């Protein structure tokens, strides 16, 4: 019988070096790979052995299978030709920070279970709050502070839970106590808000989706009217989610007006800036968060545009006591002196799970590697490249721009019907040259082109535009041929 099946130290050392090389090689050639995985449903599973190995295999075999069986099913989010959805950047420093976090294997549920895990997180989130010029209420030396969550969806859920508790005087778990609560967001808010409202037991029927203006931003006068109607009907308005950079079109809800309404009616204001929040690293883009000082909570995803690998949502509250009072349940086995002293943060009370990884480490690596100026440089460059793309679309009268595009998301379509635009998207993505996604705006099928992948340079966007034009030319010609032959056909009748 073998003494141990664990990987030997020298094997770990050698394999680790090989796998870093593997990743570096991958990044070097990722621009050559078809961006969207070219496999059919079930193909990857069918290629895997039905049963696990009884006897462990060598790392060579594992790497060989990674290459031959898994890589064909990868959609390359790290490709510079990835323009779909919002990005999920994995910069090299964040990968290295995450590697150390994995290796340390720290479980930071309490300050006491690894003090550095908690204190680095608090510190880095304070750094970030200052880098983004967030309101001072979100700093840990005020009544508030920041912590890391897995996703914006979870951060918004925690905001809703804290708002629910504040509105019910921390009695929502007693029978009947939350029945009349009503929440508000816009028709353009991310679907996670509805999901969170369901999960929080508020109920989908108690979430109003407020209509938007022609720029796809929430109409505050409609928000207030709905709140007043609800109050007259005996309901209890308690929560508003405003979005800074909506998913469909990167629209910005008017925070000052919404914030004033929330103050007047004593509602919790949560601001979801999942993607666009990173833009505030640059002073010229900070206007997007005007009015944020009126918010009770705020989140943005460093795992989208701030080059930190998934998952890393930064969540801030203006009053941490309300949040932790809402989420804290303390059994005997978690009691400890540090907690009882009241002088430490226990981040288990800031989110739903108990356990938590040392995610702050990758953020710390990223901020140290790039520095504030390095991050600003890349954000500005993305916006400048996106604006060049916007200019090309604007100059071509076969296309129309569907939404304002002050930053890095361009929503556009070929003038014509939805079918033509759907086919254009299908062909572009099937080509493997680039990857775009779509949405519907004003009922029209719209292409979304987001410039936020860390490897994207101007030439990638120029190449993408050339591919879009080439496919559009073919489709428009086919349509025109079709309509001419239809006209000819109807002329003969
Ligand atoms: N909010 C907005 C505005 C988003 O755009 C997204 C995702 O794109 C989310 C929330 C959900 O993000 P996560 O995957 O971090 O939950």
Cα of 204 to ligand 1 centre, how many Å? 19
What residue has token string 């006068």?
A: 221
Would the pLDDT of 175 be above 90?
no
Q: What are the structural domains, with CATH classification, of the chain?
A: 106-357 (3.40.640.10), 373-483 (3.90.1150.10)
* Confidence category of residue 485, pLDDT binned at 50, 70, 90: low
Percent of the chain with pLDDT over 90: 94
Residue 491, pLDDT score: 47
Would the pLDDT of 1 be above 80?
no
Pocket test for ligand 1, best of 274, 298, 409 (most atoms within 8 A of CB): 274
Residue 299 pairs in a beta bridge with 272, 315
CA dist., res. 12 & res. 9, Å (int): 5
192 lines ligand 1 (CB under 6 A): yes
Residue 401, pLDDT score: 97
pLDDT digits (tens, 9 = 90+) for 250-269: 999 999 999 999 999 999 99
Cα of 429 to ligand 1 centre, how many Å? 22
Would the pLDDT of 171 be above 70?
yes
SS in 3 state form for 462-473? HHHHHHHHHHHH
Cα of 275 to ligand 1 centre, how many Å? 7
Cα of 138 to ligand 1 centre, how many Å? 21
Would the pLDDT of 294 be above 80?
yes
Nearest to 26 by CA among 78, 65, 70, 81: 78
Q: Which residue has a Cα nearest atom 14 of ligand 1?
A: 151
Instruction: Tell which atom from ligand 1 comes closest to the C-alpha of 153.
Output: 16
Residue 162, pLDDT score: 97
Would you state the structure tokens that stand for residue 89, as one six-digit string? Answer: 């950047």
Cα of 249 to ligand 1 centre, how many Å? 13
Would the pLDDT of 486 be above 70?
no
Burial state string for 321-344 with b = 16 or more CB within 10 A and e = fewer than 16: ebbbebbeeeeeebeeebbeeeeb
* Confidence category of residue 493, pLDDT binned at 50, 70, 90: very low
Residue 492, pLDDT score: 42
Pocket test for ligand 1, best of 82, 148, 187, 190 (most atoms within 8 A of CB): 190
What are the angstrom distances between the C-alpha of 367 and each of 105, 256, 332, 372?
Answer: 22, 30, 38, 7
pLDDT digits (tens, 9 = 90+) for 176-203: 777 799 999 999 999 999 999 999 999 9
CA dist., res. 435 & res. 206, Å (int): 37
Instruction: Tell which atom from ligand 1 comes closest to the C-alpha of 156.
Output: 10
> Is the distance from CB of 51 to CB of 444 less than 8 angstroms?
no
274 lines ligand 1 (CB under 6 A): yes
| Overall average pLDDT of the 393-400 stretch | 97
Would the pLDDT of 96 be above 50?
yes
Instruction: Tell which atom from ligand 1 comes closest to the C-alpha of 301.
Output: 15
- Predicted TM-score of the model (pTM): 0.95
Peptide bond into 164 cis (omega under 30): no
Q: How many CB atoms lie within 10 A of CB 21?
A: 10
152 lines ligand 1 (CB under 6 A): yes
Would the pLDDT of 483 be above 90?
no
Instruction: Tell which atom from ligand 1 comes closest to the C-alpha of 303.
Output: 15
Rg of the chain over CA atoms, in angstroms?
25
Across the chain, what does the average pLDDT equal? 95
190 lines ligand 1 (CB under 6 A): yes
Would the pLDDT of 427 be above 60?
yes
Pocket test for ligand 1, best of 77, 194, 247 (most atoms within 8 A of CB): 247
193 lines ligand 1 (CB under 6 A): no
Instruction: Tell which atom from ligand 1 comes closest to the C-alpha of 311.
Output: 15
């Amino acid at each position: 019988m073998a003494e141990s099946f664990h990987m030997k130290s020298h094997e770990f050392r050698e394999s680790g070096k090989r796998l870093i090389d593997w990743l570096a090689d991958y990044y070097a050639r990722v621009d050559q790979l078809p961006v969207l995985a070219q496999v059919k449903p079930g193909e990857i599973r069918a290629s895997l052995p039905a049963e696990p190995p009884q006897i462990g295999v060598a790392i060579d075999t594992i790497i060989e299978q990674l290459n031959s069986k898994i890589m064909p099913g990868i959609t390359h989010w790290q490709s510079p030709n990835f323009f779909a959805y919002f990005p999920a950047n994995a910069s090299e420093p964040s990968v290295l920070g995450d590697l150390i976090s994995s290796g340390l294997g720290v479980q930071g549920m309490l300050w006491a279970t690894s003090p550095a895990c908690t204190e680095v997180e608090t510190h880095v989130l304070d750094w970030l709050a200052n880098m983004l010029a967030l309101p001072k209420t979100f700093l840990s030396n005020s009544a508030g502070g920041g912590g890391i969550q897995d996703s914006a969806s979870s951060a918004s859920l925690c905001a809703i839970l804290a708002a629910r508790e504040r509105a019910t005087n921390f009695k929502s778990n007693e029978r009947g106590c939350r029945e009349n609560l009503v929440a508000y967001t816009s028709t353009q808010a991310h679907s996670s808000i509805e999901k969170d409202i369901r999960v929080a037991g508020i109920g989908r029927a108690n979430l109003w989706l407020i209509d938007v203006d022609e720029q796809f931003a929430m109409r505050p006068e409609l928000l207030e009217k709905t709140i007043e109607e609800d109050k007259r009907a005996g309901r209890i308005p308690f929560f508003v989610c405003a979005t800074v950079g909506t998913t469909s079109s990167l629209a910005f809800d008017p925070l000052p007006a919404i914030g004033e309404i929330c103050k007047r009616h004593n509602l919790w204001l949560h601001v979801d800036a999942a993607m666009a929040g990173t833009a505030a690293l640059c002073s010229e883009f900070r206007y997007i968060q005007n009015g944020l000082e009126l918010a009770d909570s705020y989140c943005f995803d460093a795992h989208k545009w701030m080059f930190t690998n998934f998952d890393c949502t930064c969540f801030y509250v203006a009053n941490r006591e309300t949040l932790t009072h809402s989420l804290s349940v303390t059994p005997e086995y978690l009691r400890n002196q540090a907690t009882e002293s009241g002088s430490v943060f226990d981040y288990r009370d800031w989110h739903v799970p108990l356990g938590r990884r040392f995610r702050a480490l990758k953020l710390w690596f990223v901020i140290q590697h790039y520095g504030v100026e390095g991050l600003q440089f890349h954000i500005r460059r993305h916006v400048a490249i996106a604006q060049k793309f916007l200019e090309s679309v604007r100059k071509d009268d076969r296309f129309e721009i569907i939404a304002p595009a002050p930053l890095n998301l361009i929503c556009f379509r070929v003038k014509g019907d939805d079918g033509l635009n759907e086919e254009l998207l299908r062909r572009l993505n099937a080509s493997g040259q680039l990857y775009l996604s779509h949405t519907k705006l004003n009922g029209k099928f719209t292409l979304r082109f987001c410039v936020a992948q860390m490897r994207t340079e101007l030439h990638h966007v120029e190449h993408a535009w050339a591919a879009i034009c080439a496919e559009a030319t073919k489709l428009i010609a086919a349509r025109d041929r079709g309509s001419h032959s239809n006209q000819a056909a109807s002329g003969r009748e």
